[in-house]
Each structure stands twice: as structure tokens, then as C-alpha cells.
């Protein structure tokens, strides 16, 4: 099946099984904002637990924080977000549609590529086996003409971006005769910088309310609490502060479901280190974080590092952890060496000394910072994409059958076990409830008595429940049940008394954490 089709199916599956809903759906939705349903919220909470515990339980020197979304507006001035957290925007005056100028030009580049590829495909068909693609690309006049156009445009575009030259971006759009896909006209406004931060107002005093922002990253809440945590926690460098929380970005081009949202959640950890040691710590955190991803068992080859060619103004090293999504390798997490930029800026803008006295060195300094930053929602999508399987099964009567199964790591599964009475009578439902009442303190359980057992199994497979327990007449006689395993579909008879131990072993986070040590 084509990768795009798999992605479409995944999005539909997320809705059908209560994982992710479009926000405000009954009002036709709100762009790039999503809600998590009954199964989604459980999975999301488990992802957060996996991250949180791996940070604050497995590292003695990492502690947590929960800072407010609203912060003093000068924080965003100091961090550079007010002046530089921008995308270049252009509007079509006829359709009133808004575009990212850089994306319009990138699409134009893609058109030249497409034209070249079409020529190649045509020639390939004509010449068959004898076709030499390299030679054709080097000699065919139409391909060469398009290649030249691509080279010229690419050079001009790169220069305009690097020079931050908005007038030149507009001129490129005019010169290339790029038209609005909706109105078909070339009636463009000038290119403007568009700040990605959402602003709002706080209070309503007569002399005006305070302009505040919804935070576009959680990290700044950590930086401005550095002194509070270091002092009250008597933390010694190196140490880290971890935080999970909402972040907001007014993304102009928001696509690909929960991959790029306007309201999302981040899990960030800032690790404060001695100046000069940051690149060693950067390497260590790179490794630690990659292990965390790979411990989930989705295949080591599906992850890779992508080193940033162009560094942000505050960084002296940066790398992304990428996962092979159905739409290609894409960033899931960023690991950045942020130098002392943020703390120094806050020291300057607040006028408060933000330094650490290092008793071993006998001097004070502004600590350097290595950051690990991962989106909860993007991780959610990664896990769903990796877990979703459509399997062909051989049915008992020889006919082909299929099942959709989410092969979620058991620790992350929304429901750990489903308990099902074989029939809705003879005391079986009561026995099933008794089992749930005993196990519900330890695991998220679900009771299901509707439809055939086969259908009930399929429903649990589709939400990734690792265990199904069936209560039948024999249960009433010998206190045993049938346990059925999601991945192998194997069934075995076990004593009710053994259930808790068996399941606890499989669904605990311990097995995952053991892989991280
Ligand atoms: P991208 O290049 O995809 O826009 P970024 O480099 O701007 O991402 P960071 O600022 O490094 O992202 O944020 C860290 C992490 O937060 C990302 O790796 C991603 O998992 C998540 N993230 C960032 N923006 C969004 C968004 N709009 N929707 C969902 N998750 C996001």
C-alpha cells in the first residue's frame, strides 16, 4: 500500500477509535487544533510518563518544574522571540488567501524539477532498456533549460533568505509569475514578517492592559526559574530541569494532522553545565535520547540524526532525532547546545545576576545549557504510525481474513486488559466484574460483553490492548480464565490468581527503563 494511503488510514483510525478528534468538529473544526479522545488521552499520558520518569527518576540530577503559560512579556524580548520568531508572509489581494512566501518559491522550484522528471520519464518510455538517464539529463535541451532555471532561482532565493530581504522575496514571486492557486491572479501584497507568537491582553486597567504572549516554547519558563530551582533544590552543576507543558505557535502552513499544530505540548529538559563542557554533554544527551526512542522497539533503522547545517543564533551545536514517518524522515525531537545565550539575556534584561558559584573552580559563571526538546503530539503520531498494522490472517475455514492491530508497547497501551464474559448470563458477567474489581487498582481495565468474542478481540486489537481475558463456564468451576495475547493471538488457560503477576510484568515501565541504563 502506498505510504500516503497508510497515513490517511491512520488518521481515520485515530478518529474512529477515540484517539484524536478535530477540535470544534461540530462547528466544522479549527485549523491545526486537535482534541484527544478517550484512548488518545491515555496514550498521551503514558508517553508523558515514559519521558518524565526517564528524566526525573533515572537521573538524580534532573528535577521537574511546572511553570505558567503566561509570562512577563519582556521574557520574549530577551529570548529574541519578539524580534525573530518569524515566517515571511504574502497575501493574494483577490482571494484574500495568505501564504508563506518561502513556500510559494519552494513550490516553484519543485515545478522545474517536475518538468525535468517528466521529460526523463517520457524518454525512458521511448528508449526502454537502452536509456541512459545521466546522459539524457546532461544533454537534453529541455532538461538543461529547466535545470538552469532551477539553479538561478535557487541561488537567488537562498541569498534573499540569508539576507532577510523581504522585497527581493516579493520580486522573485513577481518575476517568476507565481499565481495564487485559488484566484489564479498575481495580485500580491508586499512580503511581511509574521510573528508566530499568539498575543493577548492581561488585565483591563484604564491606562491599558498588558500585552502578553502564549508561550511558543516551554524552555523560557525553565530559564527564568533557574535561580529558584538551583537555590531551593541546592542543585550542583551539572543539573537539569524538566518540564512538560503546552506551547502555541501560529503556524501559517499547518499540515499533516498532529505533526504541525497551533496548540501542542512539549517535553523539554534544560541541562546546565560548566562553560566549555557543553559539547561533551551534548554528545551524551544525544546518545541518551536516541536510546529512549529505540527502547520502544520500533526498529533502530527507523531513526536517524539530522545535523543542522544552519544554526540558530543562540546555538553552537544542534541535531534532530528523525523518525521514518509514512511521509518520510521527519523531526521528532531537537537536541541543542544553547550556550549561555538565554541566561545571559535574562541577566541583562532583568538586571538580576544569574550565575553559579562553582566551588571546585572557585569562581562564578553563567552556566551553559544543553536542551532536549520533544513534542508530545509528534511523538504520539510517531508511535501510532509505527504501531499501526494491517494483517492478513488465515481463518479457520481457510478463507482470508484481516485485522487491524496497534502493536503499541504494552506500557503505553491505553487499556491494559479487557475482561469479557463469553455469554451475558449464567453469572459470567458478575464473575468478569469481580476480576475487574480486583485488577482495576493496578491496571486500566475495560469490560466488554457486546458482540461475538471474535469481534471483541478485534476491537481491542484496534486500540492496542495487550491482553484479553475471557470468562466462561469453566471459570465458575475452577477459577481459571482464557488469556489471549494481542500480538501472537495465542490463548492459554491460566488461574485468575496468576493474572495480576503476569500482566504487571508485561505492562510495567520497568522493562523500558532497564534498556535505558
Ligand atoms: P519544525 O522544524 O518541525 O517546525 P522546530 O525545529 O521549530 O520544528 P523546535 O522549536 O525545535 O521545533 O521544537 C521542538 C519540538 O517541538 C519539535 O521537535 C517537535 O517535536 C515539536 N514541535 C514544534 N513545533 C510543533 C508544532 N507546530 N506542532 C507539533 N509539534 C511541534
pLDDT for res 309: 63
Within 8 A by CB and 6+ apart from 429, the residues are 421, 449
Nearest Cα residue to atom 7 of ligand 1: 334
Residue corresponding to grid cell 484481516: 402
pLDDT of 137 higher than 70: yes
Nearest Cα residue to atom 11 of ligand 1: 334
Residue corresponding to grid cell 520533544: 374
Nearest Cα residue to atom 20 of ligand 1: 375
pLDDT for res 161: 81
Continuous segment of H or E residues that includes residue 144: helix 141-162
**Higher pLDDT pick, 146 / 328:** 146
Q: What is the mean pLDDT of residues 31-35?
A: 96
pLDDT for res 308: 73
Percent of the chain with pLDDT over 90: 84
Return d(Cα 356, Cα 192) in angstroms, integer.
Answer: 41
Query: Do residues 241 and 65 touch, judged by C-beta distance below 8 A?
Result: yes
Please work out, in degrees rounded to the nearest 5, the angle formed at the alpha carbon of residue 506 by the alpha carbons of 500 and 511. 130
Within 8 A by CB and 6+ apart from 168, the residues are 156, 159, 160
Torsion-angle region of 473 (φ positive above 0: left; ψ -120 to 50: alpha; else: beta): alpha
E strands in 210-346: 210-214, 239-248, 263-273, 303-307, 317-325, 328-339
**Mean pLDDT in the chain?**
94
Q: Is 197 among the annotated ligand-binding positions?
A: no
Residue 375 Cα to ligand 1 midpoint, Å, equals 6
Taking each helix axis as running N to C, give the angle between helix 101-127 and helix 141-162, from 0 to 180 degrees, rounded to the nearest 10. Answer: 160
Locate the ligand 1 atom nearest the alpha carbon of residue 251 and give its number: 27
pLDDT for res 502: 95
Residue corresponding to grid cell 566551588: 359
pLDDT for res 17: 98
pLDDT of 1 higher than 80: no
Please work out, in degrees rounded to the nearest 5, the angle formed at the alpha carbon of residue 230 by the alpha carbons of 225 and 235. 150
Q: Is 263 among the annotated ligand-binding positions?
A: yes
| pLDDT, tens digit, 9 for 90 and up, residues 121-131 | 999 999 888 88
Q: What is the mean pLDDT of residues 313-323?
A: 92
| pLDDT, tens digit, 9 for 90 and up, residues 71-102 | 999 999 999 999 989 889 999 999 998 898 98
Q: Domain residues of the chain, as ranges?
A: 62-77+196-406, 86-193, 408-514
Query: Do residues 244 and 376 touch, judged by C-beta distance below 8 A?
Result: yes
Nearest Cα residue to atom 8 of ligand 1: 331
Q: What are phi and psi of 475, to 5 degrees?
A: -55, -40
Query: Do residues 139 and 123 touch, judged by C-beta distance below 8 A?
Result: no
Per-residue pLDDT band at 235 (split at 50, 70, 90): very high
C-alpha cell at 227: 535561580
Q: Is 259 among the annotated ligand-binding positions?
A: yes
Locate the ligand 1 atom nearest the alpha carbon of residue 262 and give its number: 27
Bridge-based pairing state of the strands 86-91 and 62-65: unpaired
pLDDT for res 163: 81
Locate the ligand 1 atom nearest the alpha carbon of residue 216 and give its number: 10
Nearest Cα residue to atom 22 of ligand 1: 375
* Residue 209 DSSP class: P
Locate the ligand 1 atom nearest the alpha carbon of residue 266 and give its number: 16
pLDDT of 489 higher than 70: yes
By most ligand atoms within 8 Å of CB, the mutation choice from 36, 325, 378 for ligand 1 is 378
Q: Is 100 among the annotated ligand-binding positions?
A: yes
Q: Is 298 among the annotated ligand-binding positions?
A: no
Query: Do residues 119 and 130 touch, judged by C-beta distance below 8 A?
Result: no
Q: Is 267 among the annotated ligand-binding positions?
A: yes
pLDDT for res 256: 82
Residue 507 Cα to ligand 1 midpoint, Å, equals 30
pLDDT of 192 higher than 70: yes
Q: Tell me which long-range contacts 196-205 makes (C-beta under 8 A, separation of at least 24).
A: 196/85, 196/86, 196/87, 196/249, 196/250, 196/251, 197/76, 197/81, 197/82, 197/85, 197/248, 197/249, 197/250, 198/248, 198/249, 198/250, 198/262, 202/70
Ligand 1 pocket by C-beta < 6 Å: which residues? 217, 249, 251, 260-261, 264, 266, 331-334, 373-375, 377-378
| pLDDT, tens digit, 9 for 90 and up, residues 166-182 | 999 999 999 999 999 89
Nearest Cα residue to atom 16 of ligand 1: 375
Residue 373 Cα to ligand 1 midpoint, Å, equals 8
Locate the ligand 1 atom nearest the alpha carbon of residue 333 and give its number: 18
Please work out, in degrees rounded to the nearest 5, the angle formed at the alpha carbon of residue 21 by the alpha carbons of 18 and 23. 150
The domain covering 62-77+196-406 belongs, at the CATH homologous superfamily level, to: Bira Bifunctional Protein; Domain 2 (3.30.930.10)
Nearest Cα residue to atom 5 of ligand 1: 334
Q: Is 187 among the annotated ligand-binding positions?
A: no
Please work out, in degrees rounded to the nearest 5, the angle formed at the alpha carbon of residue 182 by the alpha carbons of 177 and 184. 35
Q: What is the mean pLDDT of residues 377-403?
A: 90
Q: How far is CA 63 from CA 35, 66, 323, in A?
A: 29, 11, 28
Q: Is 266 among the annotated ligand-binding positions?
A: yes
Locate the ligand 1 atom nearest the alpha carbon of residue 268 and give its number: 14
pLDDT for res 398: 75
Q: Is 371 among the annotated ligand-binding positions?
A: yes
Within 8 A by CB and 6+ apart from 10, the residues are 326, 384, 385, 388
| Upper half-sphere CA count for residue 200 (Cβ side, 13 Å) | 10
Percent of the chain with pLDDT over 70: 98
Q: Is 456 among the annotated ligand-binding positions?
A: no
Per-residue pLDDT band at 206 (split at 50, 70, 90): low
Per-residue pLDDT band at 312 (split at 50, 70, 90): confident
By most ligand atoms within 8 Å of CB, the mutation choice from 264, 293, 310 for ligand 1 is 264
pLDDT for res 370: 98
Locate the ligand 1 atom nearest the alpha carbon of residue 320 and give its number: 18
> What sections of 233-330 are H helices per DSSP?
278-294
Residue 196 Cα to ligand 1 midpoint, Å, equals 12
Residue 33 Cα to ligand 1 midpoint, Å, equals 15
Return d(Cα 159, Cα 393) in angstroms, integer.
Answer: 56
pLDDT of 205 higher than 80: no
pLDDT for res 395: 73
CB atoms within 10 A of CB 287: 10
Return d(Cα 501, Cα 226) in angstroms, integer.
Answer: 43
pLDDT of 459 higher than 80: yes
| pLDDT, tens digit, 9 for 90 and up, residues 392-434 | 987 777 778 889 999 999 999 999 999 999 999 999 999 999 9
Please determine, looking at this structure, whether the domain spanning 86-193 carries the CATH number 3.30.70.330. no
The domain covering 408-514 belongs, at the CATH homologous superfamily level, to: Anticodon-binding domain (3.40.50.800)
Q: What is the mean pLDDT of residues 40-69?
A: 98
pLDDT for res 102: 87
Q: What is the mean pLDDT of residues 372-394?
A: 96
Residue 340 Cα to ligand 1 midpoint, Å, equals 22
Query: Do residues 218 and 372 touch, judged by C-beta distance below 8 A?
Result: no
Would you list the DSSP string of 357-387?
Answer: EETTTTEEEPPEEEEEEEEHHHHHHHHHHHH
The 3 state secondary structure assigned to 1-45 is CCHHHHHHHHHHHHHHCCCEEECCHHHCCCCCCEEECHHHHHHHH
Amino acid at each position: 500500500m502506498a505510504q500516503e494511503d497508510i497515513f490517511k488510514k491512520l488518521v481515520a483510525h485515530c478518529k474512529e477509535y477515540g484517539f484524536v478528534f478535530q477540535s470544534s468538529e461540530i462547528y466544522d473544526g479549527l485549523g491545526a487544533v486537535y482534541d484527544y479522545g478517550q484512548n488518545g488521552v491515555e496514550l498521551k499520558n503514558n508517553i508523558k510518563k515514559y519521558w518524565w520518569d526517564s528524566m526525573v527518576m533515572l537521573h538524580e540530577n534532573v528535577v521537574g518544574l511546572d511553570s505558567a503559560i503566561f509570562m512577563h512579556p519582556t521574557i520574549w524580548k530577551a529570548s529574541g522571540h519578539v524580534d525573530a520568531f518569524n515566517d515571511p508572509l504574502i497575501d493574494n489581494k483577490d482571494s484574500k488567501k495568505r501564504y508563506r512566501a518561502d513556500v510559494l518559491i519552494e513550490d516553484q522550484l519543485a515545478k522545474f524539477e517536475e518538468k525535468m522528471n517528466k521529460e526523463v520519464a517520457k524518454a525512458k518510455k521511448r528508449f526502454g532498456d537502452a536509456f541512459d538517464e545521466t546522459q539524457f539529463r546532461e544533454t537534453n535541451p529541455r532538461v538543461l533549460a529547466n535545470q538552469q532555471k532551477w539553479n538561478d532561482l535557487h541561488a537567488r532565493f537562498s541569498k534573499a533568505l540569508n539576507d532577510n530581504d523581504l522585497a527581493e522575496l516579493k520580486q522573485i514571486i513577481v518575476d517568476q509569475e507565481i499565481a495564487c492557486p485559488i484566484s489564479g491572479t498575481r495580485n500580491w501584497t508586499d512580503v511581511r514578517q509574521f510573528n508566530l507568537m499568539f498575543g493577548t491582553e492581561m488585565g483591563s486597567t484604564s491606562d491599558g492592559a498588558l500585552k502578553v504572549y502564549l508561550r511558543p516554547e516551554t524552555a523560557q519558563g525553565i530559564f527564568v526559574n533557574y535561580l529558584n530551582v538551583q537555590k531551593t533544590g541546592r542543585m550542583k552543576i551539572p543539573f537539569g530541569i524538566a518540564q512538560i507543558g503546552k506551547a502555541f505557535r501560529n503556524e501559517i502552513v499547518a499540515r499533516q494532522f498532529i505533526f504541525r499544530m497551533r496548540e501542542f505540548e512539549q517535553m523539554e529538559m534544560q541541562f546546565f553545565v560548566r562553560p566549555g563542557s557543553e559539547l561533551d554533554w551534548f554528545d551524551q544527551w544525544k546518545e541518551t535520547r536516541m536510546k529512549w526512542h529505540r527502547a520502544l522497539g520500533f526498529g533502530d533503522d527507523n531513526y536517524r540524526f539530522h545535523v543542522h547545517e544552519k544554526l540558530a543564533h543562540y546555538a553552537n551545536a544542534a541535531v534532530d532525532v528523525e523518525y521514518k514517518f509514512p511521509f518520510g524522515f521527519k523531526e521528532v525531537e531537537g537536541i541543542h547546545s544553547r550556550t549561555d545565550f538565554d541566561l545571559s539575556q535574562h541577566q541583562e534584561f532583568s538586571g538580576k545576576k544569574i550565575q553559579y558559584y562553582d566551588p571546585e573552580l572557585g569562581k562564578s559563571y553563567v552556566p551553559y545549557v544543553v536542551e532536549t526538546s520533544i513534542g508530545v503530539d509528534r511523538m504520539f503520531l510517531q508511535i501510532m504510525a509505527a504501531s499501526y498494522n494491517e494483517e492478513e490472517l488465515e481463518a479457520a475455514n481457510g478463507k482470508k481474513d484481516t485485522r487491524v492491530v496497534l502493536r503499541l508497547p504494552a506500557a503505553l497501551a491505553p487499556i491494559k486488559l479487557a475482561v469479557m464474559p463469553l455469554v451475558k448470563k449464567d453469572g459470567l458477567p458478575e464473575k468478569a466484574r469481580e476480576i475487574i474489581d480486583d485488577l482495576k487498582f493496578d491496571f486500566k481495565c475495560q469490560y466488554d460483553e457486546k458482540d461475538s468474542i471474535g469481534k471483541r478481540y478485534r476491537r481491542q486489537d484496534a486500540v492496542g490492548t495487550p491482553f484479553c481475558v475471557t470468562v466462561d463456564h469453566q471459570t465458575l468451576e475452577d477459577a481459571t480464565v482464557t488469556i489471549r495475547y494481542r500480538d501472537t493471538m495465542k490463548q492459554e488457560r491460566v488461574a485468575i490468581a496468576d493474572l495480576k503477576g503476569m500482566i504487571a510484568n508485561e505492562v510495567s515501565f520497568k522493562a523500558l527503563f532497564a534498556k535505558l541504563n
